[in-house]
Amino acid sequence: MVFYNNRIYLSPPHMSGTELELITEAFKSNWVAPLGPHVDAFERELASYVGVKGAAALSSGTAAIHLALRLLDVGPGDVVFCSTLTFIASANPILYQGAKPVFIDSEPTSWNMSPAALERAFIDAQKTGTMPKGVVIVDIYGQSADMAPLLSICNRYGVPVIEDAAESLGATYQGKPSGTLGGIGVYSFNGNKIITTAGGGMLVSNNPEALEKVRFWSTQSRDPARHYQHSEVGYNYRLSNVLAAIGRGQLRVLEERVKARRAIFERYAEAFSNTDGFDFMPEAPFGTSTRWLTTLTVSPERCGLTAAQLLDVLSVQHIEARPVWKPLHLQPLFNGYNYYPHDLNNSVSDSLFERGLCLPSGSSLTEGEQNRVIECIKTALRFPYRGR
């Protein structure tokens, strides 16, 4: 029995070195907080990287989704459609606004929102007079949703789209940067994302007035007056200058990070190419995934072990792996909200959750560490009944 003290994490932060210089610059000029030149530069640099007119740096991706909903004027009693296979942060802000989420299933080719399910949700909404104020389309695990058919459905019904690209910065859809296809795009720089500011987010848009509004709300909606005057509810949602400095350093190495994560995926795929019952998340033909996390489904009837059993085995060996997102329509918090499966007898997200597994995928993962993960899984598959 070998003991490893060096734990392998799922997706830890990966600094490049230049972040510290940029932070030092912020300290030297005493632009520590609240806003400052690094925030402005980070916004400009990210907007230019993804090719949009502007960006607003915020304290989190969740804050960005919240303000995106306000831009769509989502309020109490309104309906918002949202991908079901995602992190809870995609939908929590719907509740902040007192609105009602309706969850939309995934399709099998990208694991993202199913156009068929979305269409059925719209048909019902039209019949019952409960049209949504917006649709939150999520791009999970580094891969864009199939935006063309999804946008064409939303456009047909005249409903705007928020693209939650928190997990897909650096990916493309039909050659365009993920996060720039819906009217409003959202990125996250949380510690586990492909680049991080320790914590932070960004809202991107081609509409300068929308960005002005977001900056206004995110700094407590202060009216233009010498005294403190407020006519609208606001939030403390801006990113600090120090964290923006980290973001600028990270953005410079984003392309390298994408390459590294894709290489990690390739090594896993190669190592398990002959493993019956392991099916990696497909890369849909319409774009390039960052492979933010290498994810797969595990079929116990073919490989002898369930995803949950593999999680246990990895955990004992100090390797952090995770199940695929528990779909939001299965969350106790969202009990009683409507859900539209991919087709009437088939909920794709349910089976992805049941069988899905996310493997350590950080861009700093060494080949040696990755071999440890691979060997651990291969050993478990060779002796599926030992110790169970």
Ligand X SMILES: *Cc1c(COP(=O)(O)O)cnc(C)c1O
**Token representation of residue 77:** 């009693």
# binding residues, ligand X (CB under 6 A) = 14
- In the complex, least distance from residue 10 CB atom to ligand X, rounded to whole angstroms: 12
Amino acid at 282: P
Amino acid letter, residue 61: G
Q: Which residues of 24-48 are buried (b: 16+ CB within 10 A; e: fewer)?
A: eebeeeebeeebbebbebbbebbbe
Q: Please report how close the Cβ of residue 309 comes to ligand X at its closest, in angstroms.
A: 26
Candidate ranges 12-20, 54-62, 111-119, 278-286; the one touching ligand X (CB under 6 A): 54-62
Pair 243, 198: CB distance under 8 Å:
yes
Shortest distance in whole angstroms from residue 295 CB to ligand X: 13
Give the amino acid at 84. Answer: T
Name which of 86 and 317 has its Cβ closer to ligand X: 86
Are the beta carbons of 118 and 338 closer than 8 angstroms? no
Comparison of 120 and 322: residue with beta carbon closer to ligand X: 322
Residue span 138-167 as binding mask against ligand X, x where in contact by CB under 6 A, dash where not = x-------------------------x-xx
Q: How far is the CB of 117 from ligand X (least distance, A)?
A: 18
- Binding string, residues 345-374; x marks residues near ligand X by CB under 6 A: ------------------------------
Q: Tell me the β-bridge partners of 163.
A: 137, 185
- Active site members: 193
Measured from the CB atom, the residue of 79 and 140 that comes closer to ligand X is 140
Nearer to ligand X, 190 or 205 (CB): 190
Q: Is the peptide bond before 34 cis (omega within 30 degrees of 0)?
A: yes
Query: Rule CB under 6 A: is residue 188 a binding residue for ligand X?
Result: yes
Inter-axis angle of helices 61-71 and 208-218, nearest 10: 120
Nearer to ligand X, 165 or 348 (CB): 165
d(CA 31, CA 33): 6
Report how far residue 381's alpha carbon sits from residue 75's, in angstroms, rounded to the nearest whole number.
51
Which residue number is nearest to ligand X in terms of Cβ?
61
d(CA 311, CA 206): 43
Q: How far is the CB of 60 from ligand X (least distance, A)?
A: 3
Question: Looking only at residues 73 through 92 of this chain, which bind ligand X when binding is defined by CB under 6 A?
Answer: 86-87, 89-90
> 3-state class of 227 per DSSP?
coil
> From the list 38, 46, 60, 72, which residue makes contact with ligand X (rule: CB under 6 A)?
60
Give CA–CA dist 35/42, Å, rounded.
11
The span from the CA of 129 to the CA of 123, in Å, is 10
Q: Binding ligand X by CB under 6 A: which of 39, 50, 57, 62?
A: 62
Distance CA 28, CA 187 (A): 29
Check binding of 61 to ligand X (CB under 6 A). Answer: yes
Let me know how long the chain is.
388
Q: What string marks each residue from 14 to 53 as x (binds ligand X by CB under 6 A) or -?
A: ----------------------------------------
At 170, phi and psi to the nearest 5? Answer: 100, -15
Q: Which stretch binds ligand X (CB under 6 A): 22-30, 55-63, 118-126, 309-317?
A: 55-63
Q: Report the interface residues with ligand X, using CB under 6 A.
A: 60-62, 86-87, 89-90, 138, 164, 166-167, 188, 190, 201
